Amino acid sequence: PANVGRRMAAGVIPLLMIVLFSMESTRRITSMTNASLRSVKSVHETIRLEEDVNVDVNATADESMLQSTNVSDVATADDAVIMTTSNATTDQGWQATEDTPFEVCFVTSVYGSDPSLADRPPDVTQQRKDHPSFRYFAFTNMPTFQPPGWEVLQKNSSQYRRSITKSRWPKFMAWQHPTIQKCQAVFYVDGFCGPRSESLETFRKLAYQIRQSKFGIAQNRHPKRGSAFEEFTRIIRARKDIQENVDASKAWLSQQPDFHNNCTVYENHNIGYDPKNVEYWQRPAQTFWDRYSMELDSWRDQPLWCYVLDKYHIQPIPIGDTNALFREYWGRISRDGHRYSKENDAK
């Protein structure tokens, strides 16, 4: 019996060892398998997250382009190459040609006797670098005036008595300049204002819309002006002109058989237009200038422009949210703060 017991023990112990080894191996394999499954799950979750991010980026590409201050952040290398070629084409359909090499042009006007006392346009150097098809032009009578990033176009306009009249020529008549004729669309901004970098892609789309529209003009209706004469009341209240000039304008307008006091008043501090549109920009701008440049009445342009647009039955397309498109740099405004008196009527 003792021998039998020893033989059984000798046989059972190896068997137990085999079972225990097998169980440990199974545990390790199970553990490794679970770890592998967790790793695979993690990889899949990562891939799915990346796919979700990519989908989100693709779905919001247009919004990103509107918000970015640097076009290279959202444009591909191919886009950058296309934009800088002479036959550049944008997704809005604009194509550079010999007659129209500039996609978007910004025009401002600063006149005076001393650049240190006048409006100072903001630095647009980076904007020009980011958007090679955009151009920035500053009209002036001051030889030493050189705002950063702007191409200065000298125009003295010495035939006019008022400095205000001289400064209005680029606003309404810059289309006569051969350089401005090379623009698909022009956006006028006051001398202490500038386009917002994050909205430059919006200007690109708006420029194309202006060129394709019937009237070729983009302006917003004034939200608080019901008539031309109501605008004159506000002009006096804000010290933007003198009473005798306003009275002269009201008298002249009242004599015009096609004048309607309830004509639509537009905001004139920002105007977008197609400089090549003869019928609906060049003709009304010339009509405006023929009267305004006589310097016989108000130097404010909103009431007279209200009359001219109504005369030719022109309805500009909305320019959009000007606060989102343009920035006013009040620290760069002229010393007089654009407040006027009798003295401005003689200089």
- Mean pLDDT per segment of 10 residues, for the chain of length 347 residues? 50 49 52 44 34 32 32 31 40 80 97 92 97 97 96 95 94 98 97 96 96 97 90 94 97 98 95 98 98 97 98 97 94 65 58
Other CB atoms within a 10 A radius of the CB of residue 10 amount to 9
Q: Among positive and negative, which fits the CA dihedral 193, 198, 199, 201?
A: positive
**Residue pair 298/245 in contact by the 8 Å Cβ criterion:** yes
Backbone angles phi, psi at 25, to 5 degrees: -60, -40
The structure tokens 């553990």 sit at 31
Instruction: List the beta bridge partners of residue 110.
Output: 140
In the prediction, which pLDDT does 208 show? 95
Side-chain-facing half-sphere of 267: CA atoms under 13 Å: 19
Indicate the DSSP class of residue 317: B
- Segment 130-174, tens digit of pLDDT: 999 999 999 999 999 999 999 999 999 999 999 999 999 999 999
In the prediction, which pLDDT does 147 show? 96
In the prediction, which pLDDT does 77 show? 31
Nearest one of 193, 150, 191 to 168, comparing CA atoms: 191
In the prediction, which pLDDT does 343 show? 62
Element (H, E) at 188: strand 186-189
In the prediction, which pLDDT does 330 show? 82
Nearest one of 332, 339, 66, 335 to 193, comparing CA atoms: 332
Residues 6 or more apart whose CB falls under 8 angstroms from that of 58 comprise none
* Residue 326: alpha-carbon gap to chain centroid: 6
- Give the three-class secondary structure for 326: strand
pTM of the model: 0.72
In the prediction, which pLDDT does 248 show? 98
In the prediction, which pLDDT does 337 show? 59
In the prediction, which pLDDT does 177 show? 98
Nearest one of 115, 164, 191 to 341, comparing CA atoms: 164
Nearest one of 189, 148, 149, 166 to 111, comparing CA atoms: 166
Burial class (CB in 10 A: 0-12, 13-18, 19+), 36: exposed
Side-chain-facing half-sphere of 251: CA atoms under 13 Å: 9
Any idea what the Cα angle at residue 200 is, between residues 182 and 274, rounded to 5°? 35
In the prediction, which pLDDT does 52 show? 33
| Alpha helices for 102-255 (secondary structure H) | 125-130, 163-173, 200-212, 228-237, 243-255
